[in-house]
Homo-oligomer: A and B are copies of this chain.
């Protein structure tokens, strides 16, 4: 498929010129095109924030829900129609702050969704407060003396809870980011892609250059199947590792675990349920 299959005419994009979000959008569109995922077969679920506006900017089904709440609807969608490719995409504040509990439990639940986080280490849309991933000392109008909380480490968390797939990318490298997104989408089960994304308006510290200087791709010898190694990698900071950091042992997805798709692949929502008789039977047992 061609990338322009996702192009929309005449849209007014609310992102700032130069923002890393544009790069991510490009990588995502390319990844989808190369995987031949049609807009008709794709649902992008997002929360609220600058990153979360992404489904308004390309052709796809979308559920742009509440701040912090992209993962639950994504899970609900997948449960009743596993045939759809589902991406849950939002910012770092959305996914790790307001939505932290869903992040934790989505990893455990393992729906076959791709979870993309635009990690700019700041709350963009609300104009520059610290996010969970803001680095020590980061000053904002609210964190006037600089951030003092331990920066949230999504990769380490994912490894700690045996996520089925966890990767980190950098928006500055569209090609590699595309490759990583492709792997995540192709992976069966929950797949985390945390993408370093420069925010040119509110994060003057973690710039394109900073990310470039402070990241390094995993080399070919790296074994993402080794959980302990993955944990070590996820703790490294300067440079931060880029690439697929962890792939967990094979396990059933959430949809498989529901147990209703073993024989019948038809999504629940398309089934002609005939319940009269079953109900009759059940009530007899009362």
Task: Identify the A interface with B (CB < 8 A).
Answer: 97, 99-101, 104-105, 107-110, 132, 145, 148-153, 156-157, 159-162, 227-228, 231-232, 234-235, 251-252, 254, 257, 259
Contacts and interface: CB of A to CB of B under 8 A. Distances in A.
Contacts of A151: 108
A110 B232 CA distance: 22
Task: List the 5 closest pairs (A to B, CB-CB), nearest first.
Answer: A156-B160, A160-B160, A100-B101, A148-B257, A101-B101
A257 B143 CA distance: 11
A153 B156 CA distance: 13
Nearest to A232: B228
Nearest to A257: B148
Binding site of A, secondary structure by majority: helix, strand, loop or mixed? helix
Contact of A157 (B145, B157, B251): B157
A234 B145 CA distance: 35
A101 to B, nearest CB: 4
B145 A259 contact: yes
Nearest to A151: B108
A104 B152 contact: yes
Nearest to A149: B108
A148 B252 contact: yes
Given A101-B101, A156-B161, A231-B231, A132 B108 contact: yes
Given A101-B100, A259-B145, A152 B108 contact: yes
Contacts of A227: 235
Contact of A150 (B132, B161, B231, B259): B161
A161 B158 CA distance: 11
Contacts of A162: 150, 153
A122 to B, nearest CB: 16
Most B CB within 10 A of own CB, among A101, A235, A259: A101
A160 B152 CA distance: 9
A156 B153 CA distance: 13
24 contacts: A100-B100, A100-B105, A104-B157, A105-B149, A108-B132, A108-B149, A108-B150, A108-B151, A108-B152, A109-B149, A110-B149, A110-B150, A148-B257, A150-B161, A150-B162, A150-B251, A152-B161, A153-B162, A157-B160, A157-B161, A160-B234, A228-B228, A228-B232, A228-B235
